[in-house]
Every structure is written in C-alpha cells, then in structure tokens.
Structure 1
C-alpha cells in the first residue's frame, strides 16, 4: 500500500505552551524571547497581527509591546520540551509510523488507517488539543513535500478547520500556485534566488520544470523535491533519527565574564548538561572540545575566539570525567584581560556505551560500576526534583554568568516546586 503522509504542526508552539497554563491570555498577544531575553523568536497569531517582527531585539519592540498589551516571556525550554514530548506521545497512539521532525512537527503515515485520512486527522487534532491544550494543523498528501504544502494551506484557510487533504481539494494545483517557491520544503534561499532568475516563482511553476534542468542545477536533492511535488514519494519516514556524532551545550552569558574561575564554572555546567544528555541516549564520548568568544575590547582589539580539545582517559559519560577534560581544554585557550560573552562544550567521538572499546587506561570494572551507579543516582534525583537540583560543585552556586530569563514562566511540568496549584472553592 502506498504511503499517505500527514504533517502535524503545532500552531505558534512556544506561545501556545505558555497559554496552556495561563488561559487568561486567550486572545492576548504573546511573544517569547531568545536566550538572555534578546530577540523575539516566537509569536502568537495576535502578536503577528499586531505587526511585531520576528527576530527583532526586544528593547526595540517595547513601544509595540505596551501599545498592544503584549505578554512577554523568556524562553522556557524545559516546558517546551516536555509539552512537545506529550504531543508526540499522543500522535503515536494513532499510528506507529511516526517521524518526529522537530520540536513542534511530526510526519505520520495514515495509509490503511480506518475511517479515512481526513476523519483521522480531525480526530487526531481534537485529541491533541484535548489532552495537551496545544492546537495543531494537519496537512495530508501522497508525499512528505506535498503534506508540508497542505499544512501551510490548512493554516492559511480558516474554512479548512485546521485540516487539509490535497486529494480532497477541488483544485490542488491552486495550493501549489499560492505557494512561493522559497517556501517549498527542500528549496533553500540560494536555489530560490536562482529559480527566480528563470521566472520560477511558485511551487506549481517549479513542478513543471524538466527533470534534467532541475538535476543539473539543484543536484539529486532538488530532483527529489520536484518528483515529490509530482506525487512520487522520494523521502521516506525516518522512524529513528540518525546517530549523533557530536553533542553540544552552550549559552551566551547574562553578563560579561572576566575570570578563569567563573568561566570554568560555566564550562563545567555545560559539560554536565551534555553528559546527562549523553547518558539519556546510551552514549559515551571520547573527546571534549571547549570554546570561548569575547566581546570586542574598548581599546579596539578585535574579539577573541578559540577552541581546544582534550580527551578523558577513556570514552565515558561520567560527568566528573567530562568536566575535568573540559577544564583542561579551557585552560589552553583562556586569555586574561578579555570580557567573555559565550562559552560552550562539544562532546566528540560518540558511540553506544555497549560498543565502547576498552583500553588499559580504563578504570577497574568495580570502579566503573560505582561510577555508573553514581551517575544513575544523579540522573534519578534530577529527574524527580528538576534539572540542576543536584550538580557538581564545579558548576558553582551563585552563577552570576547565568543566562538572563527575567520573564520565564514556571517549569510547570518538570519541577516539583513549580507545579501549578489547584484550589477548591
């Protein structure tokens, strides 16, 4: 049976997550800011209608925020990640053929499901909003690219009720004709500009191009996009993401850092976060890269940026060992007299823990087992009481360098002390 793809996309996801736990914000514009409360990275439909631009620095939008009564939130990634997991778990109840494409998007294969694709999509949409509070739109098509286009049309056509099946459209070509070529999944800015030069401005016009023309100028990936627009599936569902080769943890600082000790605290925290993610995926790392960036100096010196590599004695996911390696790398690149604005840690040489190559430098089996139990206990405490509830002393306590989040909402679903409280009467 040929596949029948649905793309489920959460509407204005970050803003919708905030609204789930603050229903009094219904109908009010909402924006979410980037790290350190810098720029607008998410907007509710009302904020878009108010003309608040994406990516604009928050301080330049204050007059707009005041005029339109905008609710402004700092990024709350713990909340967004958990709500995403709940949405994806709900979708998985409808079909095992599911690809989590991003934090707010998933592809499903609806082929063979009872009730028909549109009825299934409407049931799915109603279930997601009832169980999680997150509104979604669903686009259905014979290929993933067409499902993407259908989803875009579902959002732009209020009469669709949030669901659009291209096969049920009286004129599916009208959907392609209304889609600018730069909005087609798989066509980047460079190729869109090239196509514009040939007078190709819509998905429909692109679909009619000769195969040889597209393959010559856009390689096999461009040809796949062309064939998908013609209804020929070329891009399968990815039921499991490809294994990661690196894992990064970094942040811009809330204020400039000038000392090695404070910089080492930040790098230790990023290494600890990366180590926890490593263990959650059943992986170990054989190398650690630390990197730093500074502000331009007032005396005219250019910004300083550098990176260095260090290796633990053996591939590991142990937080302490990775922090030690990260500190070694940091000491190679630290330069006094600079104002550091960002640092990060990249774990390299990732492999499944069961495939780890043992060496003479490995700890004894007993010590390795003790370290594993210690990390399991650390992860269990943080899973129960919230990320960072228990952390190595190397990560510091006061953390003046920590990212600014002046308007972060509570982590309603992942931290016990921040759970919503219901009162009777």
Structure 2
C-alpha cells in the first residue's frame, strides 16, 4: 500500500502556526518580489481570489475583503517542511519527498494494519508537533493514493482528512467521481487527446485499450493507467543527483549598471557551486542569461545569454563565479534596464570520476578552501563567507514588503513569550 500525505494550504498554514490571529481568516501568499498570488487559505479561495492574481490589480479587492497578504517566507517554509518530512520518516522507512508539502510513503509488511487508524495517527502527530494540518490518501498504488488524497481534501468534513482505497468496488466508485483533468499527470494536452476517446473521468481512462495508451501516450501514460487499475507500475523514486542546477531570480528593481548585475551573477553562481558540492558533482558548462522587463512597453524587450565551456570539470565557487561574471560582461548592454538574470550549470559529472585535461586543471588549493567555506557556512546556518564581489548583507535581493519573521531559522526573530 502507498500513502500520499499532503499539507493543506502549506504556506498559509506555516504563517498561521506562528500567528494564530490568522486562523479562520483569508490569507494569501505572494510570489518572489511580491508579484502574484501563489498560495492561499480556504477562506480566501471561497471569497474568489484567483491563483496567479497579480497583486497590483487585486490590492483593492483584498482590502475590501480583509484578506491578509504576505510575502513568501521561504526559510520558514523550508524549515517547517523538513520537520514534517522528519515526522513522516517515523511511519515508514520507504519515503519519497515529492514536493515541499507532500510525500509518498510505501507500506511494506503492514499487512495486518488498520490503515484508517494509522493515517489518523499520522495526521494527529504532524498537527500536534508542527501545527500543520494534512490530508492522507492510502491505496494500493501511487496513482490511486493521489486520487484518495484529493477525495480526502475535497470532502474534509466527511472524511476527516483520511481516505482509504482498500477494495476494487471503492476504487471504481471514486474513479467515476474524479474528472480526467484532476488526475495526477494528465495535463491539458493529454486531456484533449483523451476526450476524443470520450474519456471524461479517471474511470473512463482505465477502460481505454492499453495498447492505444502505450502507443499514443507513451510508457508514462501506460504506467499511470495501470496504477489507476490497481496494478502498481510507478515505484517510489530514489533520491538522485540533479543533471542540471539553476539559480535564477527577478530583481527587486531594474538594474542598468554593470556592477550590480555582476554582483547578482556572482551570488547566483556561488549558490550553484554550493549545490554542486552538496551532491558531490563537478560541472563542464555554465550558462548565463539576462532579461529586461517584458511587461515594460516603454522599452524593447531584451534577452541575451552566453554559454561557457570549461576546459576541466570543477565545483569551485571561485572558478564558476569568475567564468559567469566574465560571460555577463560580454552580453551586458548599456542603456538596457534588466529585470531578471540567472546562472545554470550542466554537464555534471561525479567529482571522483571524470576525464582529466593534460594541459589545464583545477587549482589544488580550491578543494580544501571550498571545504572550509562550506563547513563554516553550515556551522553558522548562513552564508557568512562570501566572495569579495558579493553583497555581504543579503543573498537574494527581492521586494518583500509583507514578510513575516523567520521564526524558526533566525535566533533574533523567534517568538517572545510574555
């Protein structure tokens, strides 16, 4: 059996844990630079605030409806997510962290368990230890556990946050109630193709010829169909190294001077290099890009990029940042107001198994230096040590006018009990 444990309105729920005044009130969380709505409470959904709403257009609506608007507090959300996932690991050794707010669990050797009670125990412990409400769907396959979770979430009062698919009769009943567009992995393109086969529900999908699905929707669609038929074909994914690492950000303001652009690129490159070392990899390729504001009609939209091929693989912040800054110098144009930039590294190889270059190689001092920097930054839970061309006071420069405190990750912002 598989379980999907999903945190309800995760970002809003994290804010409510440390600000109980937000309980049972409409709350909306904004994207980077306070752009648009990316998460909200059930109360805000009922009022009619749409996902993706640009806040500058909906500010007056939110004021009239008394919707609390907050900037994204990613350090808080990341820490709360880690706490939830740590709790889930106590309930099964086989876990796949699917996203920041949901995980799959596989129950091997749980033949005589009462899954209704076990799922309730999971919900209660997470709520008690973290304050985050969750829903749990349990079924014989990952695909069906997704369906069960959606049913539990949609009918929260009736299900009490738990839905178990433990019989073929229940599987068929719930699949008939699930619209095809609500099925995990069925995007808009697949929906159109399936509707030509008169497929409007998840159950209809299970009745289509498997040969047609394999031919038209590939092996991925076939596995999903089998999962919905109760035949497990989608296993838990093992944690693997990324094949590409990217750090891209929109600026809090537009930049037209090269010095500010170079500082941002150096910071982005340093972040990529750190992630690279965390997965014990080196990179061969660095891709740097600059973008102007595509919504500003007063100037022509500009987008430039440059790819750097390194002579030898590296994980050194010094090497990667220097190459990225040199690249951005060649694509920067005077007079252009840039709004977004990014660094993407690829051509990743293990740091203990790669092709050497006869004439060029990494400076041998870089390895111990990077190791020392990473150790200190981990010890003090912050990027205390940076390159000289980085802003020493801030990692990401974003517009965050409605930011809540970092209650769990900054000692100066913890709650004070009086």
Instruction: Name the TM tier (shorter chain).
Output: over 0.9
CA gap of 1:299–1:81, structure 2 versus 1, over 3 A, is: closer
Distance of 1:298 and 1:131 partners within structure 2: 47
Deviations 1:152-192 (A, max 9, x none): 00011221110100116974323111211011112211110
Contact 1:297–1:338 (8 Å) recurs in 2: no
Contact 1:257–1:339 (8 Å) recurs in 2: yes
Give the secondary-structure state (helix, strand or coil) at the position aligned to 1:355. Answer: coil
**Unaligned stretches of 5+ residues in structure 1:** none
Q: Given the two structures, how large is their TM-score scaled by the length of structure 1?
A: 0.91
265-274 or 401-410, which deviates more? 401-410
* Cross-structure match for 2:406: 411
* 2:195 paired with 1:187: no
Alpha-carbon deviation of 1:287?
Answer: 2.6
Give the secondary-structure state (helix, strand or coil) at the position aligned to 1:175. Answer: helix
Deviations 1:126-163 (A, max 9, x none): 11111111111110111111000000000112211101
Distance of 2:296 and 2:56 partners within structure 1: 23
Distance of 1:186 and 1:93 partners within structure 2: 28
Distance of 1:279 and 1:165 partners within structure 2: 41
Distance of 1:261 and 1:220 partners within structure 2: 49
Alpha-carbon deviation of 1:312?
Answer: 5.2
**How many residues are paired up?**
415
Distance of 1:399 and 1:92 partners within structure 2: 34
* 2:416 paired with 1:421: yes
* Cross-structure match for 2:171: 172
Alpha-carbon deviation of 1:25?
Answer: 1.1
191-200 or 89-98, which deviates more? 191-200
Give the secondary-structure state (helix, strand or coil) at the position aligned to 2:166. Answer: helix
* 2:19 paired with 1:22: yes
CA gap of 1:385–1:297, structure 2 versus 1, over 3 A, is: closer
**Unaligned stretches of 5+ residues in structure 2:** none
CA gap of 1:109–1:395, structure 2 versus 1, over 3 A, is: same
Q: Given the two structures, how large is their TM-score scaled by the length of structure 2?
A: 0.93
* Cross-structure match for 1:331: 329
* Cross-structure match for 1:132: 130
- 1:22-421 maps to which residues of 2 (within 5 A)? 22-113=19-110, 115-157=113-155, 158-167=157-166, 171-240=170-239, 242-295=240-293, 302-311=300-309, 314-359=312-357, 360-363=359-362, 365=364, 367-380=365-378, 383-386=379-382, 388-396=383-391, 402-421=397-416
CA gap of 1:28–1:168, structure 2 versus 1, over 3 A, is: farther
Distance of 2:90 and 2:396 partners within structure 1: 43
Give the secondary-structure state (helix, strand or coil) at the position aligned to 1:245. Answer: coil
Alpha-carbon deviation of 1:393?
Answer: 2.7
Alpha-carbon deviation of 1:87?
Answer: 0.8
Alpha-carbon deviation of 1:385?
Answer: 4.6
Contact 1:276–1:379 (8 Å) recurs in 2: no
Alpha-carbon deviation of 1:276?
Answer: 2.2
Distance of 1:129 and 1:279 partners within structure 2: 35
Alpha-carbon deviation of 1:209?
Answer: 1.4
Deviations 1:83-139 (A, max 9, x none): 111111110011111011111111111232363222211111111111111111110
User: CA RMSD of the aligned region, Å?
Assistant: 2.3
Contact 2:282–2:315 (8 Å) recurs in 1: yes
Alpha-carbon deviation of 1:398?
Answer: 7.3
148-157 or 300-309, which deviates more? 300-309
Alpha-carbon deviation of 1:300?
Answer: 6.8
CA gap of 1:219–1:76, structure 2 versus 1, over 3 A, is: same
Alpha-carbon deviation of 1:270?
Answer: 1.0
Contact 2:292–2:337 (8 Å) recurs in 1: yes
